[in-house]
Amino acid sequence: MGSLLVQEKDIIIPGEILAEGMDYLPGENTYRENDKIHARVLGLVTLSGRVVKVTPLSGPYVPMIGDKIIAKVVDITMSGWRLNTNTAYLALLNVKDATTRFVRKQEDLSQIIAIGEYVIVMIINVTSQRLIDASMREPGLQKIVGGRIIEINSQKVPRIIGKKGSMISLIKTHTGCEITVGQNGLIWIKGTPEGEHKAELAIKIIEERSHLSGLTEAMEKYLGETHDL
C-alpha cells in the first residue's frame, strides 16, 4: 500500500521522503529509490494526479529552446556577438539572426550592437554541452535602450508574470512602466524614474514572498496603497 507523506504546498528539503509505495510516480525534481520517492531540490510539493513533483524555490536557470531572455553583450566575433546569459554559459547571436538588413562583410558590428549593451533574445538552440544560439528575429526582440535592468532568481519568474500575465499587467498598470521579463531572471523596466522604482520594489516583494498563495491580491493592495509614491 502506498501513501503520501506530504501535502501539496509543503516546503520540503533535498532528500526528504515524499511518498512510499508504488502508488505514486516521481515527477520533476524527484527521484525514486527502492519504494520511496525523494525530493531532489528545496521547494514546494505539487501534485498532479498520481505524480508528485517539486517546484523549486531557488536555483540556477537552465537554458531551454524557445525561452525569451535578457542578455548582455560581452564580446564580438567575426560573425556575431557573444552574450552573457546570466548562467555558466555564453550564447552566440549570429549577424543573420540579429538584423534583417544587409550587413556588408567588412562592417563594424559594434556599430549595430556594442559591447556592454543589453538585448532581448530568444534561445533557438541548446546543445548537450550548453552551447546556446540566440536570435532576435521575432517581434519584441530588440536591443535595450533606456530604463533599468534588475535581477531576480529565475525560478521566481512565473510568479512575477502570474497566471496569464495577471501579475505583470497589474504592475504595469499601477506604475505606468513597460516591463519585459526574461526567463533567465533579468527584468527590463522602462518608465518614469518614480514608476521604475516602484515597479522594482514590487518585484522584489513578489520574489521574497513567492512561496505564499494569494499574492496577486496582496500586490493589488500594496500597489494601490502606495500609488502616490
Partner 1 sequence: MTYKKRLDGRAFNELRSMEAKVGVVPNACGSASFRMGKTWAIAAVYGPKEMIPRFLADPTTGVLRCHYNMMPFSGSGERIRPGSNRRSQEIALVMTKALEPVVDLSEFPNSVVDVYVELPQTDAGTRCAAISAASMALADAGIPMKDMVSSVAVGQVDGMVVADLNYNEEAYEEGAVSDIPVAMTHNTKAITLLQMDGEISKEDLLKALELAREVTEQIYELQKKALKEKFPK
**Residues interacting with partner 1, by CB under 8 A?**
11, 13-17, 29, 31, 33, 38, 40-43, 56-60, 62, 87-90, 128-130, 153, 155, 211-212
Distance CA 39, CA 174 (A): 39
Min. distance of Cβ 165 from partner 1 in angstroms? 25
Min. distance of Cβ 218 from partner 1 in angstroms? 14
Distance CA 50, CA 192 (A): 48
Q: Which is nearer to partner 1, 42 or 161 (CB)?
A: 42
| CA-closest candidate to residue 142, choices 117, 124, 169 | 117
Residue type, 85: T
Q: Which is nearer to partner 1, 135 or 153 (CB)?
A: 153
Q: Which is nearer to partner 1, 123 or 177 (CB)?
A: 123
Q: Which is nearer to partner 1, 33 or 107 (CB)?
A: 33
Min. distance of Cβ 36 from partner 1 in angstroms? 8
Min. distance of Cβ 99 from partner 1 in angstroms? 28
Min. distance of Cβ 73 from partner 1 in angstroms? 16
Q: Which helix or strand (DSSP H or E) is residue 45 part of?
A: strand 43-48
Q: Are strands 3-4 and 25-26 parallel, antiparallel or unpaired?
A: unpaired
Q: Which is nearer to partner 1, 62 or 114 (CB)?
A: 62
Q: Which residue matches cell numbers 546570466?
A: 86
Distance CA 220, CA 166 (A): 10
Q: Which is nearer to partner 1, 54 or 199 (CB)?
A: 54
Q: Which is nearer to partner 1, 40 or 148 (CB)?
A: 40
| CA-closest candidate to residue 186, choices 152, 219, 215, 214 | 152
Centre a 10 Å sphere on the Cβ of residue 190 and count the other Cβ atoms it contains.
17
Q: Residue 129 is placed in which grid cell? A: 554541452
Min. distance of Cβ 27 from partner 1 in angstroms? 14
71 CB-contact burial (10 Å; exposed 0-12 / middle 13-18 / buried 19+) = buried
Q: Distance between alpha carbon 100 and the CA centroid of its chain, in Å?
A: 27
Min. distance of Cβ 56 from partner 1 in angstroms? 5
